[in-house]
A and B are shown apart, each in its own frame.
Chain A
């Protein structure tokens, strides 16, 4: 366990330069966008001299590194600027959306694993069977189908045609937060977006797990297990699966990245008030401070995803702890 802790601490330390680099990149990107924090915020009729004075006062004329330090300092205080469109602090705006996106992502992830683990196991264990071919066929279709089209089709069929699911929003208006009704309404609203993301997002994991299982079952230690007299099901449950699920843990970071791009499309299509929808909206309306903050947050989420993968991996794979 000691090795485990050492590994975790070291792994977290590695994250620091990653986040710093990310913040610099995001900052440079923000600076390269046309206009600055003021041009959108202010009354266009203000005279240029006053504007220049304001710029000076806000430090917008300082060298970039000074501005960067300021920006970071503000971030640490939770100040991510002001949304010119919503006329409210970005942190507050994102805060509301973040909760929605979090639940949507969590449910999607759960669905992804609920779908991909059994399918991958069946496909890998009985490879080249009819069932495997059907599953592989599904993954090919999934790879070829763009998420936003698939999400639109599901919305049209199950939302508009059948009316089984709500077609927008994250909760029925008027329900009181905290009640069971409220929670089930929230879940109901995110179910269809989550299903559409999961059905497409799962194919990579299914394929990955299938290949892992086919690979693992040909390993020598599987022969050792059989030579011990272990039954077929025991061979799979004790020896093949554990070794094949390992890379799935490593895949978790990738899954998070996929979710981020997924939410951008899906939330926009389902007008689900989350970070993804806000991101697309902030770009089309040139709400730069919002776009910048979201980019930074998405980047951090991706970095955290790989961190979590690595820690899970080190928990299950003793070989990693040694290095």
Chain B
């Protein structure tokens, strides 16, 4: 059984300017000890996805329309607030995105990590402080003990980010939702954090949802990758397969732009021509069609289903059974052409 199994998650925000479909039928699984990378442009819904798993979306504004999140035999979306609290932090921890805003400015780093520990374990203040210092050492914070008494504004962005990671792993969760945990770090520290996560995956069987822009890190560390565009997954599969033969034009574009930038650590994903669609009024068909070099007329009319690559056409033309258990999936009518084009290129 998977560590976490997310099925058909749909999330809508009710904004002043109308409903905003932030997640559209998002499904994925993470096994014990596995790292799933979630990549996509800013605003594509990655953070919303991570927050939705723990029901952390702003109440009243965000509506989870459909979906199940199976974790340790329970659907997290049906738990009571009280049951959820026992899961949050203790079983599933979140490393929030923006380290500048995610730490409470009025409490010291130590106080915040100690709180995370003492919420779930019977610990004295001193014991918790010890553990907090140990966690800071683990994520490579120099002079960890003094840092415990520092306020967030006294630390650099990189240190804050590491404090957030320390805060998440200190209570020894089983699943880590890491939302862009390495953006503020320099390359050596990045590698150190990734190695730490790799070790935790081995020793504690920690599962990781790794949200990032850095395709280099994905290639080196993630077991599988899922690509998100405008709130929907457009492609997923084992990292090696997806990187070797991307089946969605968006993935293709991402990889091409990352390659042309020489795999720079901060390779931005925005360099595909055109702008993402306005999330407030998504087009009826494929959301990527307007920027897509492969787009046909049909793409603008209907949303392509998320299926094994080439599965749909085969199913239609040859009457072949769809392999719905396949790990590799893509949401594109033209995936066959994309794959062959990509193959020709390389």
Q: Do A and B bind each other?
A: no
Q: Which residues of B contact A (CB under 8 A)?
A: none
- What residues of chain A have their CB less than 8 Å away from a CB belonging to chain B? none
